[in-house]
Amino acid sequence: MKDRVRKVFERLDAPVDALLVANSVEPHLDLSFFYLFDVPSGLFEGSVAVAHADGELDVITSPLEAQSAEEAAKHDPHVHVHTAERDATEAAIAQRLDGAGTIGLNFAELTHAWATRLASARPQSRWVDVSAALRKARSTKDAAEIERLRRAAEIGSNVGREIPSLLRPGITELELAAEIEYRMNRHGANGRSFSTIVAFGPHGAEPHFQPGDARLAPGASIVCDYGAIHRRYVSDITRSFRFGPRDDEMRAVHETVERAQQAAFAKIRPGTPAREVHLAAAAVIDASPYKGRLIHGVGHSIGLAVHDGWGYGPKADDALEEGMVFTVEPGIYLPGKGGVRIEDDIVVTHDGYELLTTAPRGYLEVAA
Ligand code: GLY
Ligand code: MN
Ligand code: MN
C-alpha cells in the first residue's frame, strides 16, 4: 500500500510527521483505514493505521482480526501489523509514532471518543486535519480499485437483468428488495452497499424511500436502487420499470430521464468541472414538462463508500480526473404519482468515460 500512503502525503496542504486513521465501532468505521490497509475481511473495530511519509504503514489491531491482518501484510512488505489488546493500544500507537509532533487525523470520520483518547495520551502532539488529502487520494482509483468496482457493477447489472422476471402482482416492496439482495449475493457480492430501495407507485417520488409492505398492483411504476459490495468496493445502480398497462406519461418521463443521462454522459472527460455534468442533465429535464423535478445532484463518487466524498451538483467546481468513478443518476420525481431514476456507474478515462454497469436501461413495461 506504499503507493496509496504516498498518494495521500502528496496531497497534504501542509506537512505532517505521521498520519493516523483510527477506526471506531460499526457504523463508525473509517473507510480510509481500508484504503490504506487493503485487508479483504474483518471490521477492525478499534484498530489504528499509522502511515509514514516514506510509504510505510503500521497497523495496530486487536487479536480478534490478527489472522486476517497478518495474512494481508504477507503480501505487502511495507505493512507492519502489531497486535495489541484494547488497553495497550495507546502504548502501541506511541511506539509507532515515536517522536512525531504533528500528526494528521481524518477529522471527517474520527469519533470524538477517539479524539479525546488521543489528546489525553499525547498532550504534546499537534493534531491537524488531513481529511481533504484522504478524500482527494481516494477520489482517483488505482487499477486494483477499478477492478473491484467493475466487478461490483457487474453483479449489479446481472441482478438488473433479472428484476423484470421477479415482478408479479402482490409481491411487496420488502420481498422484492430481499430478492434483489439475495441475488446480489448469489452473483458473488459480499453484501449490499446500502439499504436497497424498492418503491412502488407514488413511493417512487421519494429518492431514498425505504421499502415496506406495499404490494405491487397493475399500473404501478417501480424504482429499484441497490448496490453490491465486492471486496469492500461498491456499486450503485437504479432501474425503473412500469408494471402493467401502458402509461404514456411515465413513458415520456422515462425517455426524458434517458435523454438527461445521455446529456450528462456526453460531458464526462478529464478537465470538465463536475457541475457541468449535473447542469447538462438538469437542462434536459428543465426543458421538459418536468422542470424542477430533478431534486438531487446528478451523481456522486463511489469507491469504498457509496457516497465516497463528493459528487456532481450545481456548484461542484472540481474538475473530473482520469480514474474517478461516479454514478450518473438523473431522475424525475412526481409527488402523488411516482418517479423514474436511471443510475449507472462510470469510470473517467483519458478521453471520456467507460460504463461499468451494463443492464438495459430503456423503458420496460412488464406485463402484469
Ligand atoms: N442509492 C442512493 C443513491 O443513489 O445515491
Ligand atoms: Mn447513487
Ligand atoms: Mn443508488
DSSP string covering 196-239, please?
PEEEEGGGGGSTTPPP-SPBP-TT-EEEEEE-EEETTEE--EEE
To the nearest 10 degrees (0 to 180), the angle between helices 2-10 and 131-139 is 120
DSSP, collapsed to helix, strand or coil, labels residue 314 as coil
What count of residues does the chain have? 368
Sequence-ordered list of residues with C-beta below 8 angstroms from that of 103, at least 6 positions apart, any chain: 16, 17, 18, 19, 20, 97, 122, 125, 126, 127, 128
| Cβ(236) – ligand 1 distance below 6 Å | yes
Ligand 2: centre distance to CA 16 (Å):
34
Whether 215 has a pLDDT exceeding 90, the answer reads: yes
CB atoms within 10 A of CB 288: 17
Residues 6+ apart with CB under 8 A from 268: 277, 320, 326, 328, 346, 348, 352, 353
Beta partners for residue 243, in sequence order: 366
Mean pLDDT of 239-252: 93
State the distance from the centre of ligand 3 to the C-alpha of 150, rounded, in angstroms.
16
Q: According to the model, what pLDDT value does residue 312 have?
A: 87
The end-to-end CA distance of the chain, in Å, is: 52
What pLDDT sits at residue 206? 97
**Quick one: pLDDT at residue 246?**
85
Take residue 227 and report the three cell numbers written for it: 448496490
Query: How many angstroms is it from 362 CA to the middle of ligand 1?
Result: 19
Give the pLDDT score at 365.
87
pLDDT tens digits along 73-84? 998 999 999 999
Instruction: Name the residue of 193, 235, 327, 340 whose CB sits within 8 Å of the most ligand 1 atoms, as the mutation to test its pocket.
Output: 327
- To test the pocket of ligand 1, the residue of 208, 257, 340 to mutate (highest count of ligand atoms within 8 Å of its CB) is 208
Q: Is the CB of 194 under 6 A from ligand 1?
A: yes
Q: Residue 35: what pLDDT?
A: 98
pLDDT digits (tens, 9 = 90+) for 45-103: 999 999 999 999 999 999 999 999 999 999 899 999 999 988 889 899 999 998 889 99
Q: pLDDT tens digits, residue range 290-343? A: 999 999 999 999 999 999 988 888 999 999 999 999 999 999 999 999 999 999
Domains of the chain (ranges plus CATH)? 2-138 (3.40.350.10), 143-366 (3.90.230.10)
Residue 245 in this model has a pLDDT that exceeds 90: no
9 grid coordinates? 502525503
pLDDT at 214: 98
At 103, give phi and psi (nearest 5°).
Answer: -125, 130
pLDDT above 90 coverage of the chain, percent: 92
Tens-place pLDDT, residues 350-360: 999 999 999 99
Cβ neighbours for 32, distance < 8 A, ≥ 6 positions apart: 21, 106, 109, 134, 138, 304
Instruction: Report the alpha-carbon distance of residue 184 to residue 156 in Å, rounded.
Output: 7
Nearest ligand 1 atom to alpha carbon 329? 4
Q: Give the rounded percent of residues in the chain with a pLDDT score beyond 70.
A: 100
Confidence (pTM): 0.95
Q: Which atom of ligand 1 is nearest to the CA of 327?
A: 4
Q: Which atom of ligand 1 is nearest to the CA of 300?
A: 5
**173-186 vs 143-166: helix axis angle to the nearest 10?**
130
The residue whose CA is least distant from atom 3 of ligand 1 is: 236
Q: Which ligand is nearest to the CA of 301?
A: 2
**Whether 134 contacts 33, CB under 8 Å:** no
**Looking at ligand 1, which atom is closest to the CA of residue 343?**
4
